[in-house]
Structure formats: structure tokens, C-alpha cells
A = this chain, B = another copy of it.
């Protein structure tokens, strides 16, 4: 990871602003929104909402607003009736596509290994409980 020496920032320090930024990007909703916009953009609010299973209107609104404020997403309003609002990635937002899609891909690619580990873990705990029982 980058060191404090080169930038003055340190993500391991609680009050460094990079910590709050990391929190906003290392986040399932940001990952999924960027994943969707990377495939096809611009997208309208309701298109994003339909494409990302389980996201609430409130969460999508808040996450897009944070992403717009951070300069990751661009919001364009077209003066139609009703007004059309479209979202797309900014050049800065496009630099997040690769690390975030690597993370989503990791989840898909290693799901079976993780499931096998979970079965082993739960089995070991169940065994420990049995052998501790009187």
C-alpha cells in the first residue's frame, strides 16, 4: 500500500480523510453501481434501481449523491417533462472500474472455495461442541 511519506495520507489512521473515502468506495453499493455504469452508461435512476437487486430508493439516492460529491459520478438533468436524469462515470470514476470489478469478480470466482471453508469451519465448531459436551 501507499505510504504516508509520499502523500501525507494514511488510511490506517482513524481520522485521516482517506479512511472515510475508503469507506465510501469499499462498499457493496458503490461496487455494484460502478459495475453497472461500467457496462452501459449513461443510466437513469430507475434503470440502476431495477438492475441492482435489493437496493432501496433511499440508499441509491444517497450513494449516488455521495459519488457525485466525490467526483466519481456525473449527474445530468435534461429539461423534459418529466425531467430526465442520467448518471455516468467521470474520468475519475472510470479509474475505479478495474479495482472494484476485480473485487466483484473475486466474489464470483471464489464463492465455491469460500463455501467449502464455511462448511469446514462450522463442522469443526460443531465437533468441538460435541466433544466438550458431558
Contacts and interface: CB of A to CB of B under 8 A. Distances in A.
Given A1-B35, A115-B17, A53 B103 contact: no
Contacts of A110: 21, 92, 95
A117 B70 contact: yes
Report how many copies the assembly holds: 2
Contacts of A105: 1-2
B19 A54 contact: yes
Interface string A81-112: 00000000000100110111111111111110
A36 interface: yes
A133 interface: no
Interface string A23-42: 10111101110011011000
